[in-house]
Amino acid sequence: MTTTQLSPGRTRVVLIELFAGAFVMGCAEMLVVGMLDLITVDLAVSVPAAGALVTANALGLAIGGPLLTFLTTRLDRRPVLITAIAVFVLINLLPALAADYPIFLLARVVVGAVQGLFIAAAIVTATSIVKPERSGRAMAIVISGFATSSALGLPLGTLLGQAVGWRGSFGVVVAIGVVVLVVAVAVLPPVPTSRESRAVGQARYAFAPRVLAVLGVGLLMFAGIQSALTYLVPFLQQVTGISGPGVSAFLLTYGVATAVGSFTGGRFADSDAACALIVGTIGVTGSLVAMWFLGANPVLMALSVLCVGLCGMGIAPSIQHRVVSLAGPGAPLASSLPASAVNVGIAAGSFAGGLAIDRGGLSAAVLTGALIAGVAVVAAGATRVLRPMSAPAAEPAPSLST
């Protein structure tokens, strides 16, 4: 990966642009969650069918993101980012105008894939314009764009949907996306990939066992979190005794905690990402155990939710940092993998929590999450000794005659 030298002012502008791109894409992802009722009525589909729109986005990101990154790995990151934003804007025009359910579902898959491509290209761009010792903080800026969209974009999008309709909300996202696209064309620097860096060669490093091990930590961690938090609202209502505006306050607390955690987590990633993974997974596990034991107490429950958000998203930059550093020459491709692992973990955690509820009630989902997170602690400790393997120094460049 090539390092691009920019002035401090230009560097800040580029990082803000990458944050804005991540934020608007995250808002588009979360809009459906906040407007399921409106979409269900307007498209005349069931609630599970409307929920499949969320799953489609996640599958597109988890599978399509790495695939698109692999196919574009030899390209300069600037045109990749600009194209990703442009496709994002065009595809979101479909639900903003008059797309029916099947087209909307397909559009969500494409948007998810483009979102995964954007994450990878944005991470590479962000780390290429800062000093190596600040790479974790640069990654955190991109990651926090998505975290902030959950904290602010979801409630704002829900209010917007109630005011102008769900299609109107996507229209607003498209309008903001156009602004982000124009700014991207104006400010993003070229970030070329080394000509010696072939896609297949990158894959060999990006999918090395040491990288997959850290990805496994992320998958387990978010599976544990989601096993409990997918069912946070009914848990608050039935176990903690919170309802109405109180539930919204808990959700806002969690959203703000994830945003703060992702922002501050970059410093820990730069300091010692391997250690940060261990501390963060212990924090999440302890918080889920406290939630299971003390969930009936509103104050202690609020503190537990706060700690899960801070520790959970606080280690996201460390996961990204470890994956990229362990991948070595495969870093451009590996940049897309943490988001995929997290989405798989979210899906697996929601499923595991649902099974636990069927067998033991809402508290069982929280206990299941704590147990999964406990496994993540062990996995994080085991991965601390892993070190990147450098590319062979004498590897010949591909011959033009073959």
Domain locations in the chain?
Answer: 1-195, 198-386
**Of 227, 217, 333, nearest to 275 (Cα)?**
217
Which amino acid makes up residue 136? G
pLDDT at residue 116 in the model: 92
Q: What is the pLDDT of residues 251-302, one digit of tens each?
A: 788 888 988 998 888 888 988 999 999 999 999 999 999 999 998 999 999 9
Report the pLDDT averaged over residues 96-122. 91
pLDDT at residue 154 in the model: 67
Does the structure show a pLDDT above 90 at 51? no
Locate tokens 């990654």: which residue? Answer: 139
pLDDT at residue 2 in the model: 53
CA gap 123, 139 in Å, rounded: 6
**Of 280, 276, 270, nearest to 222 (Cα)?**
280
**Of the ranges 148-152, 167-171, 390-394, which is most confident?**
167-171
Whether 205 contacts 30, CB under 8 Å: no
Looking at domain 1-195, its CATH class is mainly alpha
207 vs 83, 186, 194, 272, 390, CA distance in Å?
26, 35, 19, 22, 14
Is 198-386 in the same CATH topology as 1-195? Answer: yes
Report the pLDDT averaged over residues 30-41. 79
CATH code, 198-386: 1.20.1250.20
Q: What is the pLDDT of residues 17-34, one digit of tens each?
A: 999 999 999 888 878 877
- Mean pLDDT for the chain overall: 86
Does the structure show a pLDDT above 50 at 216? yes
